[in-house]
Amino acid sequence: MKMEPAYTSVGKIFEYRPMFFIPKYQRAYAWEAESVEDFIKDLKNCFERRKSHTPVNHFFGGVLCVRYPVAGAVNQHEYEIIDGQQRISTFTLLMSCLIKIYKELLEQVKHSKDENNQFILEGRIKDLSERFIEFRQEVQRKVNSVEVMRLSRVDHPFYKELIREMNPSPSRDSHEKINRAYQTILKAVRNIINPSKLEGKMDDIEIIQNIIDNDFTILYMVTDSKDDAFRLFQVINDRGTNLTVGDLLKANTLEILEGFKDCQDSCEIFWDNILADSPSKTANYLNWIYESYQGKRAKQDEFFDTLLDSFFPEHKKHKTENFTYSESKQVYQTVKNIHEDILKCRKLLEGQWLYPSKQPITNWDRTRLNILLKELDHTLSVPLFLAASQLEHKIFSEIVQIVERVYFRYKIICNQHATSLKNIYYEESLAIRENPSSYNVSGLRQKLQKLINSKASDITFKTGLEMLEYKDSGVSNKPLKYYLMTTEYYYEWYQAGATETPLCKDKSRVYDFAGTSIEHIYPQNTSKKFRDEKLEPLKNTLGNLTILDPAQNTIGGNDPFDAKRSLYQASSVLLTRNIARNQTWGEQEIKNHKNLLIDIALKVFYP
């Protein structure tokens, strides 16, 4: 392996019009705020040392590149950055900040007719722009503008506009990181340089240039072999302390597809979309996808190897035998499937329905998924829903409603450990994927019934419900609101005898979860005139609570029951109208209402 390592300054590698670019298999820009702040601390330290005439070197680690000659140009090369793109990109962001401030100073001297400083500033802007942004290149009598640094396909358009002060809008996580780094560095440079005199600012910016040219150092390694580059990339980043699992999967699959350009280009686009979210979100999505297909949780310390072996077994043959076009198409199809599942994960996390709107599934049915995943935060069920998305939409809806009712009973009220639920989800995911066309939801129902009977019995559930109370602050009342809303939805079914599977008989009434309020029947903050000392301890308990239509939220307030009774009579909420049948509201009425709500729950919250 031919290697040319050199311990040099950052500025030196930009002296001779290099053209740096990021290969397909590299990740997007990934420096978090902490890394940028560390970079700024290093810059400030070097700046202070130079101001005090005691300059010091700061070593930034290694940068590894593959060198390619530019056809038709003498002594001109392109450099593919294999390792170190985060640092190189951030160095160019720093230099673009210096250029921006120089341009601001140039406008000042033009206005004041300061020709000498105008000449100096124009020269510095031209020099830095040609070294770090773009330069003119002649190849066989044709002159083109050449960019010094080209980021990844998804980042470069944003980066290019940002460093040219075109105010682009971020559209993905890496764009947000680039923009945050640029703005943070720009602010830091403004704070570092002399705040008063023009010449002082110019001198201070020149000091920062000297830091780049002399004090910021790297180990610069260059090879002419792309095969060596792939091997070095693996050695440096295998199981990536710096790269995410998604980054490594992208790198490996694009390496596998080397020589199959159409498949490789398509997969690069898929991966760019897959990795558009924050690393933590992407890791969650990949975990859910693996669980949905494999029916088990991957060991996190072996997650990359596990995913690679499970989804891309072709990588083993790729290293030892000739890789065929048919196998490249299989890799492409797997990446495409992961991309489609990632899109589903994003929708599910937002509580969005996965199917086109179509009868007999109504808006009420679709809101159940939103409430389960967004309001109740039951993301543990996502692997099951990924598998169930292969089923007909009515079966998918049925699964959502079964899971919703069981989760509230088993986990939220009875507080049982989620492992048993998760294992059932895994089993059903595998059953669905094995043969979607013959899948029957009765298996899921029976397993959950058995689980409820053993760990969330009627007695346990009833005891948990009786302890439900409205909390004034510090604790979410979402479970309580969900419970009151859900009993309302199934109240007509309950009145009709509560036979067979729980059913919402009137799906035209869909109450907005956020806009619907919990109503205290005996007021939460009643006036002294109507205060009842016997009811005060009961005011936040289940039997004293109901829900109101969103339009009635601000009406009634802390009025006594007599004053609010007519409001309740006009409500679209059947349980609230039932409350209005009482002539008075006391201890017995509160007890009766609580018993009714609990009896409904025992019938409804069951598979």
Any idea of the CA torsion for 523, 529, 533, 534, to the nearest 10 degrees? -70
How many C-beta atoms surround the C-beta of residue 99 within 10 A? 22
Would the CA dihedral through 189, 194, 198, 199 be positive or negative? negative
pLDDT for 603 equals 97
Give the model confidence (pLDDT) of 125-159 as tens digits.
999 999 999 988 766 667 778 899 999 889 999 99
Whether 154 contacts 272, CB under 8 Å: yes
pTM of the model as a whole = 0.78
Q: What mean pLDDT is reported for the chain?
A: 91
Q: How far apart are CA 305 and CA 310, in angstroms?
A: 8
In order, the DSSP letters of 56-114 are --EEEEEEEEEEEEPTT-TT-EEEEEEE-HHHHHHHHHHHHHHHHHHHHHHHHHHHTT-
pLDDT at 4: 67
Separation of alpha carbons 127 and 130, rounded Å: 5
Q: Which residues contact 475 (CB under 8 A, 6 or more apart)?
A: none
Q: Which ranges of 467-524 would DSSP assign to H, the alpha helix? A: 478-489, 491-495
Q: Over the stretch 385-443, which tens digit does the pLDDT of each residue have?
A: 999 999 999 999 999 999 999 999 999 999 999 999 999 999 999 999 999 999 999 99
Which tokens is 526 given? 């009643």
Give the tokens for residue 26: 């590299």
Ranges of the chain with pLDDT below 70: 1-4, 72-74, 138-141, 226-227, 229-243, 318-321, 474, 550-557
Asked whether 374 and 351 are in contact (CB, 8 A), the reply is yes
Cβ–Cβ under 8 Å, residues 429 and 387? yes
